[in-house]
Amino acid sequence: MNSNRTFTMLKPDSIEQGYMLSILNIIKEAGFKIIALKYKKMTKEEAEQFYSVHSDKPFFKDLIQFMTRGPIVAAALEKSNAVVDFRKLIGSTDPKEAKEGTIRKRYAKSIGENAVHGSDSDENASMEISFHFSDSEIFS
Ligand code: IDP
Ligand code: MG
């Protein structure tokens, strides 16, 4: 139903290094409309819930520590084919494998601290947008 929407977070490493506006500009220039935006620090509980699908992974503890060590920018984005096109724009999870011109190739330091999140399916995009935003915070 929401195939024109996706969800992103600029992760703490991006914010710490001053990349917030540069990355938001790349997202805008790629044709995504920002329909919701929030600058916040996630609690440990929020991060654990958001990444619960990874709770069994060996990197889970580090991931939660990383994602809660400083503020993030959360955004809901609108564009045709949003989920697939945004995953293309950010590139592979591991920046070493990310293609030239992708956000992770340009800004990510490692597979863990990889600059941005992007939803991996329409269903998850919808869940992730609802996780961070109420209906009254979305301006489509
Ligand atoms: P994705 O963000 O590209 O969808 P996922 O496999 O969903 O990648 O993993 C979620 C996040 O967990 C990654 O973006 C990264 O921050 C972290 N992560 C994934 N794999 C590893 C790993 O092998 N080592 C450390 N951190 C990882
Ligand atoms: Mg993922």
CA–CA distance from 9 to each of 13, 24, 58, 85 (Å)? Answer: 11, 10, 22, 16
How many angstroms does the Cα of residue 51 sit away from the middle of ligand 2?
Answer: 8
d(CA 118, CA 110): 16
Rounded to two decimals, the pTM is: 0.98
pLDDT in tens, 67-78: 999 999 999 999
Give the structural domain span for 101: 5-137
How many angstroms does the Cα of residue 70 sit away from the middle of ligand 1?
Answer: 18
- What's the pLDDT at 3? 81
Tokens 């580090």 belong to residue? 62
Average pLDDT estimate for 42-61: 98
Q: How many separate domains does the chain show?
A: 1
Which domain CATH number covers 19? 3.30.70.141
Q: Which of 7, 49, 63, 92 to mutate to test the pocket of ligand 1 (most atoms within 8 A of CB)?
A: 63
Residue 1 has pLDDT above 60, yes or no: no
CA–CA distance from 108 to each of 13, 32, 42, 54 (Å)? Answer: 8, 21, 20, 20
Average pLDDT estimate for 95-106: 98
Average pLDDT estimate for 27-56: 98
Residue 2 has pLDDT above 90, yes or no: no
Q: Rounded to an integer, what is the distance from CA 82 to the centroid of its chain?
A: 13
Number of residues in the chain: 140
Ligand nearest to C-alpha 94: 1
Q: Which of 55, 59, 61, 88 to mutate to test the pocket of ligand 1 (most atoms within 8 A of CB)?
A: 59
